[in-house]
Amino acid sequence: MTANSKLTIAAHALAWLELARRRGREVLTSEEVAASVNTNAVIVRRSLGDLQRAGLVRARRGNGAGFSLGRSAAEISLLDIWLAVSAEPLLALHRSEPNLECPVGRGIRPVLTDLYDEATNAFRAALARSTVDDVLERILR
């Protein structure tokens, strides 16, 4: 299994958009963002599309086309970003029903559901405490 890097790509894109804004560039193309992330612009466009649907970025069409922040970097939490780009749950149970004849198979789902809910709540709380502005400030130190 591979780790999900959607949050990382999206946070990187937003931090780069904020740094560009601070340097006087309100709009960046997906190619410019992709160059910073060092990935294909199609991947970045997908991420920026998710962020746009969540209101975290704005897209400009036509002359001067590109993307800009939809809100202040200090108002965009990492939780906002995660919710915009990661539709799947953080942790998941079996894809198929375990063997209910087995004592472990019968009892594992409720136990893991409780533990996964607790872990997800802690994860969400940690992400909610940091903003794009916080991330960029740490990067620039």
CATH code for the domain of 10: 1.10.10.10
pLDDT band for 63, please (50, 70, 90 cuts).
confident
In whole angstroms, what is the distance from residue 17 CA to residue 132 CA? 10
Residue 136 lies in a domain: yes
Residue-number span of the structural domain to which 101 is assigned: 6-140
pLDDT at 128 over 60: yes
User: Within a domain: residue 65?
Assistant: yes
Mean pLDDT of all residues in the chain? Answer: 94
Rg (C-alpha) for the chain, rounded Å, is 19
Q: Number of C-alpha atoms within 13 angstroms, CB side, residue 62? A: 0
Answer yes or no: is pLDDT of 132 > 90. yes
Q: In this structure, are residues 52 and 28 in contact, taking their beta carbons and an 8 Å threshold?
A: no
Q: Mean per-residue pLDDT for 33-54?
A: 96
* 55 — pLDDT class (breaks 50, 70, 90): very high
How many domains are there within the chain? 1
**Is 1 part of any domain?**
no
